Amino acid sequence: MAFTLSIGSSAPDFDLLATDGNRYTLGDFADAKFLVVFFTCNHCPYVTGSDEVTRQAAERFKDRGVAFAGINSNSKNTYPDDDFPHMVSRMEENDFPWTYLYDESQEVALAYGALRTPHFYVFDSERKLIYTGRGVDSPRDRSRITINDLERVLEEATSGEPISVPMTNPIGCNVKWEGKDAHWMPGDACDLV
């Protein structure tokens, strides 16, 4: 079995605290025709470099029944800036159009097989996975973006078209797992920032 969810898989449920002080489960997003679950954090330059692109997608597709749920699963012990108080501050400063959830136990990241920040999962109305991977091809530098996979998938999905490319490799920092050093990989500058 692959580590990350495969296309057609059901969305794993969760019960997580959000920056608004409420707890959310998968059922709280039941009214959405499509649900984008994405693993994110507070500090990663691939996240902060593409947040506004993600915001544009969330705002563009909101009226088409698409909801966004961002999940921070990074260990606060490995990377203190990723703790819950920093999440709350970040949402207060940026007012992102998504629910920002804290997966302190990292169980949700494991259930989804999150590999990077950011890592996107798009689910249909039955909460079956129709896309997993990157949001864009250059998340760290918006000026170099030539492909926006997230908007392509949402355009196809909300128009009733088949998903032309259902899987890409996520681009970003490694998820910071509890009890592990912040692993560095070629092309992963997050641990140096």
- pLDDT tens digits along 1-23: 357 899 999 999 999 999 999 99
Of 8, 21, 5, 191, the C-alpha closest to 114 is: 5
pLDDT, tens only, 102-157: 999 999 999 999 999 999 999 999 999 999 999 999 999 999 999 999 999 999 99
pLDDT digits (tens, 9 = 90+) for 83-105: 999 999 999 999 999 999 999 99
| Predicted pLDDT of residue 4 | 87
Supply angle C-alpha 115, 117, 122, rounded to 5. Answer: 75
166-169 contacts, C-beta under 8 A, 24 or more apart: 166/7, 166/130, 166/131, 166/132, 167/7, 167/131, 167/132, 167/133, 168/132, 168/133, 168/134, 169/133, 169/134
